[in-house]
Structure 1
């Protein structure tokens, strides 16, 4: 049976001898990529109980806060799809009911499993987009092949944000322990007050992986911070000289490595978000430890208007187009395997 309950959420699983993958029916989150031998799932599970987004009521659920992010946070798990927003809605959109990162994060999905392939589908009624994702996990494989298609249901070309918000959490994510690699090149720290406990120099441009810090030094982003409290966001241009882009993460304690691989031309940007016990408002309550490795079409999480006004960064576009009555399809892969060193991971 592929139907399961995961953290009291309706979900569907796909598995083979090595891996278990779990996708939630509401939100469509890729909640689990688990190594069955060790039980390690690198993806983030929030420290608060999650509920189905359709059941969220601001009056009944104050524990999730009271803003445009609350419905998303009530149900968020692991790898979250941001479509057709990457960031917050405008004040007007929020008043009309739009959530942070768009409808895809809170919609209900039709999910089926046939053989080694899981298919999830939904339609975004406000954005007038149809979305489909297939995840194929062949027998004996440690690599899942993922295909996504966005269809524009309108007679007008559409500029959209389209980001894979892959968030890692404990026990895989350990302060001062978990290591990272990437094809990142030119980089920039977000230029606003993203966090009250930030340590990166706002707006600083740099070359991956050495980020300028507030104390005048630099820090290697290939090792997760060993601070007790911190927060940050930086964006990274994937190497335009390489056809394929990737990030990998490895936990020496478990010996398990996770990687995502995609076409640089599809998703030229990767944002790295850090939340290390720094947010004191509900539902965070200084309890969350995360690192988001968020690859997509946009460099920064921001409103639709700001995305369009920004246009580009480092000469590279900050959004993508879906032509009228047309479909755009992209492919990427996720892999999970035991290795003795992060540099031993074969992509």
Structure 2
């Protein structure tokens, strides 16, 4: 399925409803050119679909418990393993075009309705999602946007910027003995203190291992944001969201076969890669933040975020700030010590 205007092309698949392309028409590189085939996924996902581009984790983040496996739950939830349906085909409104899709979760009963809206004459997309709990009981759940960049977009020079705050490392080749010490061993963005030493998370050439760095946001930040910039092809991809919707940011650094294969911007309601039983049986909050959200019986949760593409020039240093207005994203960029605000209207 495709949305396209005079600036960008966007594609998604109904198989798991992953976003597989978001590309400036005058650039040859697609940031969402990343895939993890089912052959590399756990047995729970045999017969489902590849993880690719920007896909959705809903219900759980990580492996299901033994009981959940027997009940039919999948790794990273069900909706990325189901075929979505089109509720409202491509429609043109006053200043945008949109497609609405949905997915019914056969086991977890967490259904989702998603509207993807591309604004005319703009490189901004707005994604609105409704999560519906069709169980007769309230329950903890999680939602995580697994936005993964790869292909020719990711290399040793790719730069990641964000307004994230305190964080801790986990997963990959930096395994933790436990989570009891996550506050005392925490660090402040953009510098992570890993078992190998201190590293700058903004840079892609610092760590030759795969790992996840998990962060919350300062209380002063109403909106969270993160960008990945390809300085050679001179453009960036970015995401902006309300920190009440998604209070966590998980940065995945994928290093394989001697090179960086992917970097992911995973904004979420969760930051601890553990089952609910662990989080409810232990003191697992991180500076007051639970690693799950509660949804009541029959309740509908509403989530919203923006994604965008932006050309840059050869003097790019970093994205310093993103301001969300009623009809624009104001992106402050440092170009060799000089600040320039670039406005994306929607």
Question: Into which bin does the TM-score normalised by the smaller protein fall?
Answer: 0.7 to 0.9
Aligned partners of 2:268 and 2:84: how far apart in 1? Answer: 21
Per the TM alignment, residue 98 of structure 1 is displaced from its structure 2 partner at its CA by 1.8
User: Does 2:1 match 1:17?
Assistant: no
Q: State the TM-score, normalized to the length of structure 2.
A: 0.82
* Larger relative strand fraction: 2
Query: For 1:126-205, what aligned pairs fall within 5 Å after superposition?
Result: 126-175=107-156, 177-190=157-170, 194-196=171-173, 198=174, 204-205=185-186
User: Does 2:104 match 1:123?
Assistant: yes
The Cα offsets for residues 184-228 of structure 1, whole Å up to 9 and x where unpaired, read as 1111112xxx334x499995410111111333x31110111355x
Listed as ranges, the gaps of 5+ residues in structure 2 are: 320-332, 334-341
Query: CA 1:130–1:34 in 2, change beyond 3 Å: closer, same or farther?
Result: same
Aligned partners of 1:71 and 1:312: how far apart in 2? Answer: 36
Query: CA 1:153–1:101 in 2, change beyond 3 Å: closer, same or farther?
Result: same
Per the TM alignment, residue 69 of structure 1 is displaced from its structure 2 partner at its CA by 4.9
User: Which residue number in structure 2 is paired with residue 321 of structure 1?
Assistant: 294
Listed as ranges, the gaps of 5+ residues in structure 1 are: 1-11, 51-55, 57-62, 279-285
The Cα offsets for residues 306-336 of structure 1, whole Å up to 9 and x where unpaired, read as 3444552211121112222121111110001
Counterpart selection for 2:19 from 16, 27, 30: 30
Query: For 1:1-347, what aligned pairs fall within 5 Å after superposition?
Result: 12-46=1-35, 63-64=39-40, 67-70=43-46, 74-111=49-86, 112-115=89-92, 116-175=97-156, 177-190=157-170, 194-196=171-173, 198=174, 204-215=185-196, 217-227=197-207, 229-277=208-256, 289-309=261-281, 311-340=284-313, 341=316, 342-343=318-319, 344=333, 346=343
The Cα offsets for residues 250-298 of structure 1, whole Å up to 9 and x where unpaired, read as 11011111110000111000111122116xxxxxxx8981112110100
Deviates more, 1:154-163 or 1:264-273: 154-163
Give the superposed CA RMSD: 2.4
Q: State the TM-score, normalized to the length of structure 1.
A: 0.82
User: Which residue number in structure 1 is paired with residue 325 of structure 2?
Assistant: none
Per the TM alignment, residue 149 of structure 1 is displaced from its structure 2 partner at its CA by 0.4
Query: CA 1:287–1:104 in 2, change beyond 3 Å: closer, same or farther?
Result: farther
